Each structure stands twice: as structure tokens, then as C-alpha cells.
Structure 1
Amino acid sequence: MKSAFKKLPSDKHSIDGGLLFAVTLCAAISTLLIYSITYNHVLDTVGSSYWKTQAFSMIAGIVAAVVISFIDYRKLVKLWVVFVPVTLVLTALTFTGLGYRREGADDQAWLNLGFIQFQPSEVLKLAFILTFAHHLSRDEEEMNKPLHMLFIVIHGMIPLGIVAMQGDYGTAIVFAGIFAFMICSAKISWKYLVAAPFFVAAGLIGMWFFALSEFHKKRILILFHPGTDPEYIEYQQDLGLAALKSGGVFGKGLFGKPDDYITVPEIHNDFIFTYAGQVFGFIGTLGIIIVLAYVCLKIFGDSRVCRDHLGKFICMGAFGLVFTHCIMNIGMVLKVAPVIGVPLPFLSAGGTAMISMYAMIGLVLSIYSHRAVNYNVFYDEEDDD
């Protein structure tokens, strides 16, 4: 180890304030929307505990993000031998008696530990981004060799396969999105990119015949044949579209009469965008899309200024996570994607999702703030590897 002073343009901790403000704005809007749902009695199953949990999770998330921003992300990655086994064990417990299927969901992806209920796959996303970024940064120069690429693909398919076994196909798609954005940001050969669509097509065909239930197949097929649904599978999406349109240009406001609002199943969660449409109208929903697009662009921008490839891969994983969530959720509401239980980042109700998303933002903030090395009498040149 070589000890030396290393000079930087600034020795102060810097933070990407724009990114933190944008996600907190979304979280604050989410809390306000869920409070409005409670106040207006739009959905009887949504009580005051929901908006209180959302507010607490937002505050806890902000604290977590700021704390993580002060920690060198390279040191966090080195702890993978601790957090990966813990995350995998928690996820595996969903297949035991501790796992349960949340009301309104199709998958058994939640854990009920008595004092707390949470979804381990939200934490698994973070663990995957960190470990896969570490894998790519260590193996990037050799990744195009067939054996190395095989191990990279296996690494990506492990979490995807676990959540698919839970029946959580929405989260499986999110993992696929994270994997795709991260691997495409590495030095992958064009030959693999050309072959990828064929392998993806083969995988989708295999899932259609051997993994998807008839109910999930009907959810997909109905998108191509709207209005021909004798089992009312498209009922939720049709109701969501009607709710979205009912807000007009400027919306009905946050506090009205219960009869003013259309009740949509999961309106506080996966379909919260429909309530935003009722309350804020077209202008408000367009504003939400702009803020979420800003978050994605900010994360992508931070991936261009980080000090090493490890930071770049983590940022691209975070970008893939937020981008895939947004596209799938809004597409689901607009009836161009099937209903597969993908929440809208920082807006859908859920304490686990909120805090884990903030933790992910904390990683991006850490990469941004450590994009150069501060004065450090114990500076280790090996940390730049």
C-alpha cells in the first residue's frame, strides 16, 4: 500500500442535490395522494396507516440516501459476502410458511415476520446491482470469451429465476431490464448483441408454454383483442383509463367528495398514476412523467462522470431499475402492457419499495460524491482499480 496525499479540485463532500430533490418531490406527492385517497374514502381498505407509513418511509429513505452518499461505494460492494447471503435467505423464506400472497396480488413474494411485512425482492434488486456491477468491473476485459459470458448470464438469471418462481413476473422483467442496461454499458461484443434477440425470443416462447398460467396468458392476449374479455380480465385497466381521463386537463383537486372519484383496484399502489390523473389532470400527470424522466436522465448523467467502471455499472443498474419500472407501470395503466404488479417508483404505496429505492439513490449519490478522491493521508492507490 502506498500512502500519500492526493489533491482534488475540492475537499468537500458534494451531493447531487437535483437528483435527491426530484425523487423526494415524487415521494412527497405520493404521500399527499395516499392521504387524499384516505380523506376522500376512495378505497375503504386504504386507512390512515398507509399515508403515515409512506411519510415515515420517505423520511427514513432520505436519511438512508444521505448516509450512504458519505460511504465510499467501493467499500459497500466489498460487503457482498454479507448482504448477498442474507438477501437470498430472506427471499427463500417466501417459499416457506412465512411467505404469503398480498391481497390483490398474484404472487407469493411477501414475508410476514409478525412485527413487519415486506417484500425481499426489493432488497434483492439492490444486491443484484451491486454484485453484478462488481462482476462486470472485474471481468469486463474477458467478458466476451464464451465461458466468461456464460457465468455473466448465469449471474443475471439467478435472481430473475427466483422471482419468476414466486410468480412475480413483473419483478422478473425488472431484473431483465437491469441486466440488459448494465451489460450493454460494458464492453460487450456486437456478436452477442446480434444473437441476443434470438435467445430472448426462445426464452419467451419457453415461458409461454411452460411457465405462464392461463390467467397470465389471457392478460397478455387481451391487449391485442380489447373488448373481447368475457372474464373481465381487462376490467381494472379499463377502469383505470376511465379514471385517468376523468381528471380532464387540470384535475378535480385533492379534496372533494367521494363520489367525485372513480375507485380502481390497487389505486394507492400499482394504479396510483390513475389517481394522480383524477386529482391533477393531464397537466399534473405530464409533470410527474417529466420529473421521473429527469430522475432517469440524472442517473444516466452521473454514470458518465464517475471515477471508475464499477460506479458506471452501478449507475446503469439504477437507471435500468427506475426506467423499467416507469415504462412498465405507466404502460400498464395506459393498457399497452399487461397488469403484472410493477409499482411506480417513489409514488406507489409501499415502505419496502420506498426505502430500497432511496437506498439505490444513495448509491448513485455516493458515486457522484466520490467521483474524485479527497485528501487522505492513508490513500490507497489500489482503491482506484
Structure 2
Amino acid sequence: MFILLCMACSALSVVALTSIAHDSASAQNSLFANYRLPLVQAGAAALGLLCAVILSTFDYHALAASWPFHVALSWGLVLLTFVIGYAPPGTTNKSWIELPMGLSLQPTELAKISFILSFALHLDNAKDRMNEPSALMALLAHLGAPLLLIHFQGDDGTALIFLFIGVSMMFVAGLPRKFIYAGCGLAAAAVPLLWFGIMEEYQKRRIYGLFDPENYTDVMWQQNQARISIGAGQITGRGFFGVEHHPVPLAQNDFIFSYISESLGIIGSLLVLGLLFGLAAKLVGTAFRSQDRLGALICVGISAVILWQTIINVGMNLSLLPVIGITLPFFTAGGTSVLMLYLCMGLALSVYTHNKRNLFDS
């Protein structure tokens, strides 16, 4: 079921990206130049599926225990972006590393896997000391260090996803209620600090625009176009290939949901949401079947990636949330993101294969 859901997402993504490429293809460009995005997406999915199958044969306990290796590798690549990082078209965040043949690597995507493994191991080791302030401070430091690093990198959207992953895993691990209430209070108290001391003016304008889009058309242009595109699809959509779609800037990236919605209508929208939420639910089910906390927490972390990125991305498309550069899992064009997600599925398959409850277990 894991593999079928992932392959269905990837297949629909490649079709949508091929349709976008077909509509904008130029006779002056080569076949690869015109269809580079769907080809990279398909190649990343095929490579990711192979890696997921291989990764599922490894015991996740050994993968978590090898945290010094993958933490040093993944976060070393993130640090490298401060030196040689570049920003692809459509973004100002220099969080990518250029590769040959026009390809690129976004290290923070791979760092999500390392973070889920290491944080799950940390939570598992601290299971009997969750009520101790020293143990809690160590967990918060484990969570806060990546957030600060990614913030200074300039990718606050990805930092927010890391925060949601960590908080979801801590909640499921059994964080005492007094700490949950204290955390909510501190978060509320930190809002003025974020607004007046940390957030840039363009970020504030994106929030203003949600409540007054007519007076902030410059920052709301892409989202307004996406909403029109979603509505234009109506029930069954206009279809793919050669159909005049409503123009949405960079629809292949964070706004591919609007393109699919216009192409397949509300039926396509529900299909995308059903696939992604079904995958998240399957991950939660695997967490419940796991006989140890480590496997359960790994699956919860992966489920949090799928769930929160889907909610935020769709909220961006519907103008319910500001644009913060969050991809739609499996659908947004991006080889690194797709590869990371398939590696996450390999981890979940490892949990399912190496540690699950049988029917007659107590």
C-alpha cells in the first residue's frame, strides 16, 4: 500500500508536469530542455523507489544508531550552502547546491530524514525522563539548533516544517501536559517578538494580504491567480495537454495543486488530498503496529512531514495561509524532495518489516 500510494502520487505529478511543459514548449529548445522537469521528477521517483526498497531491508534500529554519520553528512551539506549555495529561479533562498547537467540538491530535504531518525532516538532514550527539566532542555536544544541554522539560511518555511515535525513527535512521545501548556503560553508571548523583531516587511505584507487582498495585489497576485485556477476547474476540470489554463506563475512549484485542480476539477483536488492523507494515515497505522517507541516515533515524524506540508501548501493555494515556500509532497517539481520522501517511505517500510505486532500479540 505504501508503494502504491507513492507511485500514484508520482504518476499524477509527472502527468501534470508534462502537461505544463507541453503547453510552454519551444521549438527552439531541445526535447530535454522542454521536458526537463517531468523527466527529472520521473527519474527521482524511480531512483527513490529503488532506494526505498533497499533501505527497507536495513533494521531501523541500526539506522538510528548511526546518527553521527548521517547527521554530519546532511548538516554538513546544509552548512556548505552558506559558502556555495545558490537560489534557483523563483526563490531568493540560497539553500541549493548546483550539480552537473543543470541539476541541483537541496540539503535541508535530506536533513529531514536525519532529524527524524536522531530525534526519534533522543525521544526514545529520554522516555523515562520526559518530566525532568534537564531532559526537556536537551530535547529543545536538539530541535532548536536546526531551526536557527535554517533560519539564518533564509528558508523560514522549511524551518517551520522542522518545528512541526519536532513538536508532533514530542507530543506523541508523551510530553507532560504542564510542558505543553507552558509551550503554548511561550508561543503566544513570542508572537510580538516575531512580528516586530524577526519578520521581514515582505513577510508581514503577505499576512496583511490575506485579510485585504485588494490593497495588496502585488504580494497576492500569485495566490489570486491560483484561486481563479482552482475555481475554473469546476467539477470535472478542463483536462491536460493543449488546454488553455489560467496562468499561474511557477505553477510547477508550490502551486501545482491549483494546476491539477483546474485540469481535473474538484474530483482531482479530492484525489490529491485522498492520496496524501491516506499515506499519512497509513504511516500512523504503522506507528500503532510498532512494538517499540523508536519505530512508532519514526513513522509519526514521517507522517508529520506529509500532513503539515500538505495542509500548508493547500492553504497557500486557497489563500488561507501566506506563501512560505512549502512544497506539496510528491507533486511539486523537485528531485531532492521526491527522493527524500521515498527514502522516508523506505524507513517506514523498515519499521513495518522489522517490528510489527502480530494478530495474536497481547
TM-score interval w.r.t. the shorter chain? over 0.9
Cα deviation for residue 113 of structure 1 reads 4.4
The CA distance in 1 between the partners of 2:163 and 2:305, in whole Å, is 9
Where 1:140 maps in the other structure, the secondary structure is coil
Q: What does the per-residue CA deviation read over 1:221-249, in whole Å, with 9 as the maximum and x for residues that have no partner? A: 2112221215x100000001111111121
* Residues 177-196 of structure 1 aligned to structure 2 (within 5 Å): 177-196=164-183
* Residues 336-375 of structure 1 aligned to structure 2 (within 5 Å): 336-372=320-356
Asked whether the 8 Å contact 2:12–2:331 carries over to 1, the reply is yes
Task: Give the corresponding residue for 2:91.
Answer: 105
Cα deviation for residue 343 of structure 1 reads 0.5
Asked whether the 8 Å contact 2:168–2:304 carries over to 1, the reply is yes
Matched, 1:41 2:24: yes
Among the aligned pairs, what percent are the same residue? 33
Task: Give the corresponding residue for 2:232.
Answer: 246
The CA distance in 2 between the partners of 1:180 and 1:20, in whole Å, is 27
Where 1:50 maps in the other structure, the secondary structure is helix
Asked whether the 8 Å contact 1:133–1:313 carries over to 2, the reply is yes
Q: 1:171 to 1:43 in 2, by over 3 A?
A: farther
Matched, 1:235 2:215: no
Task: Give the corresponding residue for 2:130.
Answer: 143
2:309 paired residue among 302, 322, 325 = 325
Where 2:215 maps in the other structure, the secondary structure is coil
Amino acid at match of 1:247: G
Amino acid at match of 1:33: A
Amino acid at match of 1:26: C
The CA distance in 1 between the partners of 2:10 and 2:192, in whole Å, is 38
Q: What does the per-residue CA deviation read over 1:59-99, in whole Å, with 9 as the maximum and x for residues that have no partner? A: 11111111111111011111111110111111011111x11
Amino acid at match of 1:265: P
Q: What does the per-residue CA deviation read over 1:299-347, in whole Å, with 9 as the maximum and x for residues that have no partner? A: 0111000121000110111111111100000000000000011000011
Where 2:94 maps in the other structure, the secondary structure is coil
* Residues 6-155 of structure 1 aligned to structure 2 (within 5 Å): 18-41=1-24, 47-96=34-83, 98-114=84-100, 116-155=103-142
Greater RCO (Cα-Cα under 8 Å, separation 6 or more): 1
Cα deviation for residue 142 of structure 1 reads 0.6
Where 2:214 maps in the other structure, the secondary structure is coil
Q: 1:353 to 1:363 in 2, by over 3 A?
A: same
Q: Structure 1: which 5+ residue stretches go unaligned?
A: 1-17, 375-385
The CA distance in 2 between the partners of 1:29 and 1:126, in whole Å, is 24
Q: Which moved more, 1:60-69 or 1:200-209?
A: 200-209
Q: What does the per-residue CA deviation read over 1:245-272, in whole Å, with 9 as the maximum and x for residues that have no partner? A: 1112111111224xx1122112011000
TM-score (normalised: structure 1): 0.88
The CA distance in 2 between the partners of 1:368 and 1:204, in whole Å, is 40
Where 1:264 maps in the other structure, the secondary structure is coil
* Residues 138-217 of structure 1 aligned to structure 2 (within 5 Å): 138-217=125-204
Task: Give the corresponding residue for 1:380.
Answer: none
2:205 paired residue among 211, 218, 223 = 218
Where 2:97 maps in the other structure, the secondary structure is strand
* Residues 284-323 of structure 1 aligned to structure 2 (within 5 Å): 284-323=268-307
Cα deviation for residue 372 of structure 1 reads 4.8
The CA distance in 2 between the partners of 1:268 and 1:322, in whole Å, is 19
Matched, 1:269 2:253: yes
The CA distance in 1 between the partners of 2:130 and 2:154, in whole Å, is 31
TM-score (normalised: structure 2): 0.94
Q: What does the per-residue CA deviation read over 1:206-227, in whole Å, with 9 as the maximum and x for residues that have no partner? A: 2222222100111112112221
Larger Rg: 1
Amino acid at match of 2:230: L
The CA distance in 2 between the partners of 1:270 and 1:221, in whole Å, is 20
Asked whether the 8 Å contact 2:290–2:357 carries over to 1, the reply is no
Q: 1:285 to 1:373 in 2, by over 3 A?
A: closer
Amino acid at match of 2:47: A
Asked whether the 8 Å contact 1:37–1:43 carries over to 2, the reply is no
Q: What does the per-residue CA deviation read over 1:119-171, in whole Å, with 9 as the maximum and x for residues that have no partner? A: 11001111110000000001111122011101101101111111111221111
The CA distance in 2 between the partners of 1:255 and 1:117, in whole Å, is 27
Q: Structure 2: which 5+ residue stretches go unaligned?
A: none
Asked whether the 8 Å contact 1:68–1:363 carries over to 2, the reply is yes
Cα deviation for residue 290 of structure 1 reads 1.1
Q: What does the per-residue CA deviation read over 1:260-300, in whole Å, with 9 as the maximum and x for residues that have no partner? A: 11221120110000110111111111111111110111001
Asked whether the 8 Å contact 1:236–1:265 carries over to 2, the reply is yes
The CA distance in 2 between the partners of 1:300 and 1:119, in whole Å, is 27
Amino acid at match of 2:64: V
Q: What does the per-residue CA deviation read over 1:168-222, in whole Å, with 9 as the maximum and x for residues that have no partner? A: 1111111111011100011211101111111222333322222221001111121
**Which runs of structure 1 show a deviation greater than 4 angstroms over 4 or more consecutive aligned residues?**
42-46, 113-116
